[in-house]
Amino acid sequence: MTTTPHVQPASDALRHAEVGGSRAPSNAPAARGSGTVIVGLQWGDEGKGKIVDLLADRHQAVVRYNGGANAGHSVVIKGERYALHLIPSGVLRPNIACIIGNGVVVDPDWLSRELDGLHARGVDTSGLLISDRAHVVMPWHKAEDELRERWLSEGALEPIGTTKRGIGPCYADKALRGTAIRMGDLLRPDVLSARLASICRLKTAMLGAITGPDQGMTSYDPAAINELCQSWGRRFGPYITDTAALLRARLSAGQSVLFEGANATLLDVDHGTYPYVTSSNCASHGAATGSGVPVTSIAGILGVMKGYSTRVGGGPMPTELIGNDADRAIGEGIRARGREYGTTTGRPRRVGWLDLAAVRYTASLNGVQGLCVMLLDVLAGVERLRVCTGYVLEGRHIDELPPDAYLLSRCTPVYTELAGFGDITQARSMSDLPSAARAYLDFIERTVGVPVAYVSVGPDREQTIAAISGGAGAGSSGIGGVAPKAAR
């Protein structure tokens, strides 16, 4: 049989090879030292979106490398708040390529709403690209997620506390392979249609077994699902491409890339407080595999943390403020001032004192070169601040968080008490901060062993202090893009 060769349109070929006015073959070696990773060091919701937005204009591309619509990044610009779930936070800067990488699982319906919301507010999304190898969150993934959580809560096991957005089941299908659907598959409706008949039959049987005959049967019609997939293909076809090749070409051309992590290290499926974790590699190690670039292209790693701790969902949290009425009152005050409600779900976040034993572990694991201390202003007015520097576990002192839920649940925090401080929202330099606030930051640096690079003193983009000369990120002087510390 004779096969007609496929001829790629010249415009498509140039889309991959020509970047920023220069042309580089996608198989050329990537330029070393061109990438900066932004990674969360706690249980998520640290303020990564603000840092990505702040640094985006120093890079030519921002790529989201893990997670799905279970993540929520908030950015405030001149008092206007933007909530982003799948689209990289760099979308709020002009002329920046925003890439949803292959390590992300994409909910097309959620992405449609997010795009429509940005368009309605006049945000230009023409720079958005979606990896053809990113996996698709299907209706059965959400149904399975909810059923599993219900099943766990009704049995002897504690539910994980997922967002019920289908993230875990979608990643499970990615590993199972035969039932997985990728964004590139949406561009091949004839091929996908043949597969959907078998997939729908299997998913109907699986979910029916979980629900049981008394709960009613969920049935997936292949024709209806096929039409849904075709509508997604029509909507997102212009965005779907081989983003890994595009990123390598940009790096080879000497451009810089900002890698945006979702969720956070203590939720990493391998290195977090398992099993109360998410389903992807949130740590900095996931940036290369979740984007399709060489690890040698990553030069800088910034770790984002709050001035206190929060967590959503199940699992142990040693410093949680729930011990007595006074603790609960402090926790409720922090929650109210910090708007500690999930960007994705609206759930109230659990609140606790800053846990530096946890941050020391995650900073070391990620190879962090600079800390971004966020929401420091939320602590204003708390008279005495307690900071966890280690734990007592079964009678012995340990300095780092054990990444195991059972062991962590048996840990008693060891605290150091520091003086509180007043309002800092008007500070625009380190010298503007009160001495107690600077002492708090110094204590973080000494305990973690990593310099503070940025300090957030309010929600707005402008309420961010560069704590080191030149800031941080690709292109700055210093090892890994973190410049030498400035005088305070």
- 164: domain CATH number is 1.10.300.10
Q: Are residues 262 and 145 in the same domain?
A: no
Helix axes of 189-211 and 139-154: crossing angle, nearest 10 degrees = 20
Supply the DSSP string of 409-445, one letter for each residue.
Answer: HTEEEEEEEEE-----TT--SGGGS-HHHHHHHHHHH
Above 60 in pLDDT, residue 469?
no
Q: Are residues 228 and 258 in the same domain?
A: no
Inter-residue contact 48 to 261 (CB < 8 Å): yes
User: What sign does the CA torsion over 300, 306, 308, 311 have?
Assistant: negative
21: in domain: no
Average pLDDT over residues 320-335: 94
6: in domain: no
Q: Are residues 212 and 225 in the same domain?
A: yes
User: What sign does the CA torsion over 312, 315, 319, 320 have?
Assistant: positive
Q: Are residues 348 and 431 in the same domain?
A: yes
432: in domain: yes
Q: Which residues are catalytic?
A: 45, 73
The chain-wide mean pLDDT, for the chain, equals 88
122: in domain: yes
Neighbours of 213 (CB within 10 A): 8
Above 70 in pLDDT, residue 28?
no
pLDDT at position 437: 98
List the structure tokens of 322. 């729930």
Above 80 in pLDDT, residue 22?
no
Is residue 199 helix, strand or coil? helix
pLDDT tier at 145 (50, 70, 90 boundaries)?
A: confident
Average pLDDT over residues 259-272: 96
Q: Are residues 221 and 256 in the same domain?
A: no
Q: Are residues 222 and 309 in the same domain?
A: no
pLDDT tier at 484 (50, 70, 90 boundaries)?
A: very low
Inter-residue contact 281 to 261 (CB < 8 Å): no
Helix (H) or strand (E) holding 69: none
Locus of tokens 């839920």: 405
List the structure tokens of 234. 């029509």
Answer with the one of 271, 301, 331 that is the final residue of a domain: 301
Q: Are residues 44 and 101 in the same domain?
A: yes
Q: Are residues 324 and 442 in the same domain?
A: yes
User: What sign does the CA torsion over 107, 317, 371, 341 have?
Assistant: positive
Report d(CA 129, CA 143) in Å as an integer.
28
pLDDT at position 156: 57
Above 80 in pLDDT, residue 154?
no
Average pLDDT over residues 366-392: 98
Q: Are residues 245 and 227 in the same domain?
A: no
> What's the start-to-end Cα distance of the chain, in Å?
74
Q: Which domain holds residue 188?
A: 136-234
Report d(CA 455, CA 218) in Å as an integer.
49
107: in domain: yes
The number of distinct structural domains making up the chain is 3
pLDDT at position 150: 81
Counts of helices then strands in the chain (DSSP H, E): 13, 22
Q: Are residues 245 and 269 in the same domain?
A: yes
pLDDT at position 33: 45
Above 60 in pLDDT, residue 23?
no
- 323: domain CATH number is 3.90.170.10
pLDDT tier at 486 (50, 70, 90 boundaries)?
A: very low
260: in domain: yes
Q: Are residues 273 and 223 in the same domain?
A: no
Q: What is the pLDDT of residues 189-231, one digit of tens each?
A: 999 999 999 999 999 998 888 776 666 667 899 999 999 999 9
pLDDT at position 213: 62
- 93: domain CATH number is 3.40.440.10
Q: Are residues 433 and 330 in the same domain?
A: yes
Average pLDDT over residues 143-163: 79
Question: Using the 8-state DSSP alphabet, how is residue 24 labeled?
Answer: -
Answer with the one of 257, 276, 301 that is the final residue of a domain: 301
